[in-house]
Amino acid sequence: MRYPEEYIVVCTNSPSYIHRPDCKYVVGKSHTHTCDMASALEQGYTNCPVCDPLNRYGFHYINPYEDVTMFVDPRGQAVE
């Protein structure tokens, strides 16, 4: 699933976080790459606790069962 440009995030591998493009931990750094948020979540990346892109972009964490993790995007669609 591809999301609009506003859901493009910057990924780091150590730690495996997704960041907003303006996050102080990725601006000017060479160890980053861009990806869409859904793909990053599917690959196991987690939210940067500083810039908090999931909350900033309107994604909501849902865990209806303890063994299920799901995010819902601002349009109400589940990100698998």
| pLDDT tens-digit profile, the chain (80 residues) | 445 556 788 999 888 998 988 899 999 888 899 888 778 888 888 889 898 888 877 766 555 555 555 566 666 666 65
Closest to 35 (Cα-Cα) out of 56, 58, 18, 23: 18
Domain span including residue 72: 5-79
- What pTM value is reported for the model? 0.68
45: tokens are 């990346």
44 contact partners, CB below 8 Å, separation of at least 6: 16
Check: CB of residue 41 under 8 Å from CB of residue 79: yes
Length of the chain: 80
24 contact partners, CB below 8 Å, separation of at least 6: 50, 51
Query: Total structural domains in the chain?
Result: 1
